[in-house]
């Protein structure tokens, strides 16, 4: 892969990571703002929305953290390591956590967007799990190749 593309992806992930933290910290304020100017339903379910978005935000930030860890190994040109298999497994679990949060939200406040989020993260979770298996196989093959003298 092009070196510049890797660097660019790393920068995008860094921005998402720190941007996500800012969004998480300012979530109560932004929800209040949205409740005032966008939809009064947000004000009605303020604590519930704060809990759902707050928890999902934490899970999202943790997913990006794992991605940043993986990108670091890509930059160091040693991406076929078990650490990345663990990262993919962790991301699968975190995606499922987001699915659970939004399923709860669908039950209380059903919207088409929430349904789509549930579907997207459920598929992301499945893909992460499958990729983790593929990666584990690749790491195994690489180790065998490295230890063939």
Partner 1 sequence: MGIRINIDVMMAQRKIGLTELAGKIDITPANLSILKNNKAKAVRFSTLEAICRELRCQPGDIIEYLPED
Where do contacts with partner 1 occur on this chain (CB under 8 A)?
Answer: 143-144, 147-149
Distance CA 93, CA 114 (A): 19
How near is the Cβ of 146 to partner 1 at its closest, in Å? 9
Q: What are 147's two structure tokens?
A: 């230890």
Of 44 and 143, CB closest to partner 1:
143
Of 8 and 141, CB closest to partner 1:
141
Of 2 and 144, CB closest to partner 1:
144
Q: What are 25's two structure tokens?
A: 């910290």
How near is the Cβ of 132 to partner 1 at its closest, in Å? 23
Q: What are 62's two structure tokens?
A: 């943790």
Length of the chain: 149
How near is the Cβ of 141 to partner 1 at its closest, in Å? 11
Of 6 and 136, CB closest to partner 1:
136
Q: What are 52's two structure tokens?
A: 């759902």
How near is the Cβ of 142 to partner 1 at its closest, in Å? 11
CA angle, corner 60, sides to 107 and 98, nearest 5?
25
Q: Is residue 125 a contact partner of residue 109, using CB atoms and an 8 Å limit?
A: no
């Amino acid at each position: 892969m092009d070196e510049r593309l890797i660097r660019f992806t790393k920068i995008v992930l860094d921005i998402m990571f720190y941007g996500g933290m800012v969004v998480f910290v300012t979530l109560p304020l932004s929800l209040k703002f949205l409740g005032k100017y966008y939809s009064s339903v947000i004000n009605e379910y303020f604590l519930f929305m704060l809990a759902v978005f707050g928890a999902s935000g934490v899970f999202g930030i943790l997913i990006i953290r794992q991605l940043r860890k993986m990108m670091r190994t890509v930059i160091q040109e040693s991406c076929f390591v078990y650490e990345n298999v663990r990262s993919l497994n962790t991301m699968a679990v975190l995606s499922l956590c987001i699915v659970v949060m939004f399923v709860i939200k669908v039950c209380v406040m059903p919207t088409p967007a929430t349904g789509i989020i549930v579907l997207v993260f459920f598929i992301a979770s499945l893909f992460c799990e499958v990729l983790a298996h593929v990666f584990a196989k690749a790491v195994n093959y690489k180790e065998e190749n490295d230890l063939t003298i």
